[in-house]
Amino acid sequence: MKFLNIILIVFLFFPVCYSKAEEQDKRNKITKNLRCLVCQGQSVYDSDSEFANSLKILVDEKIKEGFSEKQIYDYFKEKYGDWILYDPGINKNTYVLWLLPLLIFLIGGAIIYKKFIKKI
Amino acid sequence: MKKKILPISIILIFGLIFIVFYKGLQDSNIYTPDANIKNDIPIFNTKDFYSDETINSFGFFKVDKNYLLNIWSSWCVPCRQEHKFLMVLNEENKINLIGLNYKDNKKKAKKFLDELGNPYNKVFVDLDGTIAIEWGAYGVPESYLILNNKIVKKYIGPLNQKSIDEIKLFIK
Amino acid sequence: MIYSLIGYYSLILGLIIGISLFYFSYKNFNNSKILETKILSFTFLQFFFVVISFLCLIFSFIVSDFTNETVFNNSHTTKPLFYKISGTWGNHEGSLLLWLLVLTLFIFLFLLKTKNQPVKYKILTLVFQQIIIVGFFLFLIKTSNPFNFIFPTPTEGLGLNPILQDPALAIHPPILYLGYVGSSIIFSSVLAATSLKIISISWASHIKKWILISWIFLTLGILLGSIWAYYELGWGGFWFWDPVENVSLMPWLALTTLLHCILVLEKKSILTSWVIILSIATFTLSMCGTFLVRSGILNSVHTFANDPERGLFILVFLFILIFLSILIFFFFHKDSEKKSYNFFWLSKETSILVNNWFMMYFLSVILIGTVYPIFLDVISSQKISVGPPFYEKLITPFLIPFLIIMAIGPKLKWIKSQLEDKIYLISFFIISILLSFLILKNFSHNILINTILISSSLYLFFITFREFFTKKFKNISQNIAHFGFSLLILGILFNNLFSSEIITNLKVGESFENSKIKIVFESVKQKKEKNYNAIIANFYVSNSSGEVDRFSPELRIYNQPVIATSEADIKTTIMSDKFIVINLVQNQDFFNVRYQVKPFMLWIWLSVVLISFGGLLSFLQKKT
């Protein structure tokens, strides 16, 4: 009986530990993506300002409440605007941003192929 | 003519880039998302400063009344400077001042109010700063003007004579 | 006070010489004698006056002459002497004086050292460089005078931000500018060469030295900036894709690409148009970067004074230079080589083209990422941020083929090649993949992309490493640089994957413990220095393998300006860095403690030094 109890405790404990590490990863990922608005060029993860610390607490709360990563980003975007996120995301404002370099890559490749390479 | 098309188009492109940079210089380069004021008042859990009673803010702000929510701390130097303006504003009976004590030590906060006066109808406590973020604040001091249950204006930084005059106009 | 006067009038004299140089060059375009006598001496004189001006400013800082507005704004009597001196160029006005110093120095050296080129070319290079120099003189005197008077004289200055008081940051601007501003000479000389239509194999050899100098200093300058960020800002990062960092990386990419192309042009008369474009682009990117950073149009860590008037001046100046270059390129550069290129797909030419292709892609990613927010804001009033996720997502996948081609490319021959050493090429490939799997087998996420990344960097590592033993000393400088690059990527990858961090709140006497490590917060002490007061926190850290370290991070409060900083205590060893940073938590009696382990930091720094060393070797090599 005692043995079973121990096993039970271990099993109950284990997922808590495991999900704690996961939570930590999620929290780190999110706070690295949030800009500290009162700092000059630091993420919330890096910063120790009052604003950043409060934000970190809020992120932890939201994770506990079960918010997904995207939901947390949306929550902060609503309060502070798109520019609190370091990852510009893909939306109507940023299609050009993401596609232009790739387009340049393709055009560069095409120019090189057409102009320079011996056609067999 | 064909030969000229490349240099001309390049010059045009750079001309456009010049115009964009020129306009970019004119605009403000401080990203203050004033344009991004979310109008609705957030709902939050807090404690009353004096009674320690836990409160949920739902229903606290009445539709027919005007409020100014002021975020302050005893350790915040500009808060001291703006405090006298709050005392002046308190004399207007058309507006209720609500204080949000931000990340503060209760004894020091009480001392602050004893020393400079208490203009607030009610003071809420925000120990970890998360309530301020619910309001979309950056830090202290910040104030929110609320009319008809909507946030009408946000003041970042200490209030001054100009902001008080503006508020008085709003509440007329 | 007298120094400000001397400094100011030296600038005026320098400007006058610049304008006279235009005159002399115009009048004596063909006369080689005038070059050796008048023009060389005048160029030296201009440099000399800028030196005088610069020394006057330094001296004003040293004696804390607060009649000078710049000294007042940026210095303080209690600052240590070393930082008083380096404070000279740590502000907007002083750094512009540094610009002028490098601009005038480089043209003087250019005229002095260039032997086998036509006189017209040298004079024309001077003319183009003087356009830049005179522009900067005007900019300085009109909008950014380092010798403004203030009256009445204050007794004390406003001080220099303490995070700028760091040895790496003190020498970062001079070294960076030697590279960044040094690319001006490439710009001027390519415009001159294009106008005179003398771009050729011999010109390529001549200009290569200047490209190398600029490149070496730019590489080291960027390194110093990263080292400063890492040690001083204490967050464990060394690259943030901040606009100012990007702005130094872009000319570096253009310059590296140019370097590869000039190596081609040195041997065959091809790709001349592209070489011209790259040369113009490098300095243009430098100027553009200066504009972005100093005008206040972008928001970043490094902001100097934000002044739209200055911004407007630089913007107009920049675009004058751009339009001038476009005109010269299209007017003078006739693609006399109406030749059709026919490179074999497996040849050195093609691999250099592919290198260019990828480098330009990386450049465009960084350029677009940095300026897009401005365009979006102007066109549609939306404000977004473009941060590290953007750059990492777009650059990382392309690094993989880039590294592999970097390994194979140098081994190809001109015109047509077969793959030599096929056995090595293939076996190293397999070893790289296996090794990566071994390293990463305990990782849960992103295992595929990381494996491929590590494999490609290991591949480059092995291939270049082996080259050292094949006794082909002809290309040793290139091999060292590529080897260094493989180390850099490997270092960054391992650092990213294996860094760890513990964040906890501790009161004095408390400790933190988990299965791997124990951190004990032993004590605090107070310290009083000349310009700051500090709290020193003593920590004792022991880990499960029995290693023990003591750390003493500090919290400092400087007296002028009143700023609180947190100084990390970093212990560097060959394999990793360990450090602790502490922070005060408002209204609480505990400290926030961050303990970080960052592997391979030293390798990252050393690999960049190795890359520059490859460049230095190439510079010193005598042409056979």
Neighbours of C570 (CB within 10 A): 19
For the segment C229-284, what is each residue's pLDDT rounded down to a tens digit?
Answer: 898 877 788 999 989 899 999 999 999 999 999 988 888 777 888 999 999 999 99
Q: In what order do the strands lie in the sheet with C591-599?
A: C500-506, C591-599, C576-584, C569-572
Rounded to whole angstroms, the Cα distance separating C153 from B172 reads 49
Q: How many domains does chain C have?
A: 3
Do A54 and B38 make contact, defined as CB atoms within 8 angstroms? Answer: no
Pair (C247, C102) in one structural domain: no
Q: Has the ipTM of the complex gone over 0.95?
A: no
Is B34 an interface residue toward A (CB < 8 Å)?
A: no
Predicted structure pTM score: 0.90
Is B9 an interface residue toward C (CB < 8 Å)?
A: no
Which residues from chain B sit within 8 angstroms of residue C298, using beta carbons?
A: 29
Do B11 and C378 make contact, defined as CB atoms within 8 angstroms? Answer: no
Q: Is position C489 within any domain?
A: no
- Identify residue C519 by its one-letter amino acid code: I
- Determine the pLDDT at residue C599: 93
- Determine the pLDDT at residue C550: 92
Q: Do C276 and C333 touch, CB atoms closer than 8 A?
A: yes
Residue C156 carries which DSSP code?
S
Pair (C103, C69) in one structural domain: yes
Q: Is position B15 within any domain?
A: no
Tokens 């370091």 correspond to A86
Which residues from chain B sit within 8 angstroms of residue A58, using beta carbons?
A: 130, 133
Q: Which of C317 and B38 is assigned the larger pLDDT?
A: C317
Minimum CA–CA partner of A59 in chain B: B130
Instruction: Mutate one of C270, C271, C384 to test the A interface: name it (highest A CB count within 10 A).
Output: C384
> What tokens appear for C224 in the block?
């110093």
Pair (C244, C334) in one structural domain: yes
Is A87 an interface residue toward C (CB < 8 Å)?
A: yes
Is B157 an interface residue toward A (CB < 8 Å)?
A: no
Q: Do C500 and C543 touch, CB atoms closer than 8 A?
A: no
Is A86 an interface residue toward C (CB < 8 Å)?
A: yes
Output the DSSP codes for C228-250.
Answer: HHHHHH-SS-S----HHHHHHHH
Is A112 an interface residue toward C (CB < 8 Å)?
A: yes
Minimum CA–CA partner of C586 in chain A: A50
Interfacial residues of A (vs B; Cβ cutoff 8 Å): 37-38, 50-51, 53-55, 57-58, 61, 78-81, 83
- Determine the pLDDT at residue C545: 85
- Determine the pLDDT at residue C157: 85
Which residues from chain B sit within 8 angstroms of residue A38, using beta carbons?
A: 138-139
B102/chain C closest Cα distance in angstroms: 10
- Among A46, A88, A115, the residue with its CB nearest the CB of C385 is A88
Minimum CA–CA partner of B19 in chain C: C378
B53/chain C closest Cα distance in angstroms: 22
For all residues of chain B together, what is the average pLDDT? Answer: 86
Do C386 and A118 make contact, defined as CB atoms within 8 angstroms? Answer: no
B38/chain C closest Cα distance in angstroms: 16
- Determine the pLDDT at residue C24: 81
B24/chain C closest Cα distance in angstroms: 6
- Determine the pLDDT at residue A7: 57
Q: How many CB pairs under 8 A join A and B?
A: 38
Pair (C153, C170) in one structural domain: no
Pair (C148, C13) in one structural domain: yes
- Determine the pLDDT at residue C168: 86
The fraction of chain A above a pLDDT of 90, given in percent, is 32
Minimum CA–CA partner of C566 in chain A: A48
A7/chain B closest Cα distance in angstroms: 38
Do B138 and A54 make contact, defined as CB atoms within 8 angstroms? Answer: no
Is B108 an interface residue toward A (CB < 8 Å)?
A: no
> What tokens appear for A103 in the block?
């387009």
- Determine the pLDDT at residue C105: 96
> For residue C261, which of C249, C250, C248, C274 has the smallest C-alpha distance?
C274
Q: How many domains does chain B have?
A: 1
Q: Is position C462 within any domain?
A: no
For the segment C542-565, what is each residue's pLDDT rounded down to a tens digit?
Answer: 988 888 989 999 998 887 777 888
Do B21 and C315 make contact, defined as CB atoms within 8 angstroms? Answer: yes
Find the mean pLDDT for residues A103-115: 92
Do C384 and A40 make contact, defined as CB atoms within 8 angstroms? Answer: no
Is B14 an interface residue toward C (CB < 8 Å)?
A: yes
> What tokens appear for C219 in the block?
């590489």
Angle at alpha carbon of residue C126, lines to C121 and C129, rounded to 5°: 125
- Among B33, B38, B133, the residue with its CB nearest the CB of A54 is B133
Which residues from chain C sit within 8 angstroms of residue B103, using beta carbons?
A: 586-587
Q: Do C158 and C91 touch, CB atoms closer than 8 A?
A: no
| CATH number for B59 | 3.40.30.10
A12/chain B closest Cα distance in angstroms: 31
Neighbours of A22 (CB within 10 A): 13
Q: How many CB pairs under 8 A join B and C?
A: 55
Q: Is position B13 within any domain?
A: no
Q: Is position C452 within any domain?
A: no
Is A101 an interface residue toward C (CB < 8 Å)?
A: yes
Do A80 and B31 make contact, defined as CB atoms within 8 angstroms? Answer: no
A2-87: what fold?
Helicase, Ruva Protein; domain 3 (1.10.8)
> What tokens appear for A90 in the block?
């893909």
For the segment B13-30, what is each residue's pLDDT rounded down to a tens digit?
Answer: 999 999 999 988 887 544
Which residues from chain A sit within 8 angstroms of residue C361, using beta carbons?
A: 101, 104-105, 108
Rounded to whole angstroms, the Cα distance separating C359 from C362 reads 5
- For chain A positions 5-24, those within 8 Å of chain C (CB to CB) are none
- What's the alpha-carbon Rg for chain B, to the nearest Å? 22
Rounded to whole angstroms, the Cα distance separating C452 from C441 reads 13
Does residue B107 surpass a pLDDT of 70?
yes
C156/chain A closest Cα distance in angstroms: 27
Rounded to whole angstroms, the Cα distance separating C412 from C597 reads 41
Task: Return all residues near B1 (Cβ < 8 A) that are at least 6 apart.
Answer: none
Do B25 and C381 make contact, defined as CB atoms within 8 angstroms? Answer: no
Phi-psi region of C420 (alpha: psi -120 to 50; beta: other; left: phi over 0): beta
Pair (C325, C228) in one structural domain: yes
Which residues from chain B sit within 8 angstroms of residue A54, using beta carbons?
A: 103, 128-130, 132-133
Containing structural domain, residue C538: 500-602
Do C298 and B29 make contact, defined as CB atoms within 8 angstroms? Answer: yes
Is A90 an interface residue toward C (CB < 8 Å)?
A: no
Containing C567, the helix (H) or strand (E) segment is strand C564-567
C153/chain B closest Cα distance in angstroms: 29
- Determine the pLDDT at residue C1: 79
Containing structural domain, residue B101: 33-170
Do A97 and C368 make contact, defined as CB atoms within 8 angstroms? Answer: yes
- Determine the pLDDT at residue C334: 75
Which residues of chain C fall short of a pLDDT of 50? Answer: 624
Residue B160 to residues B31, B80, B101, B164, Cα–Cα distance (Å): 22, 12, 20, 6
Chains in contact with A, counting 3 or more C-beta pairs less than 8 Å apart as contact: B, C
Minimum CA–CA partner of A37 in chain B: B138
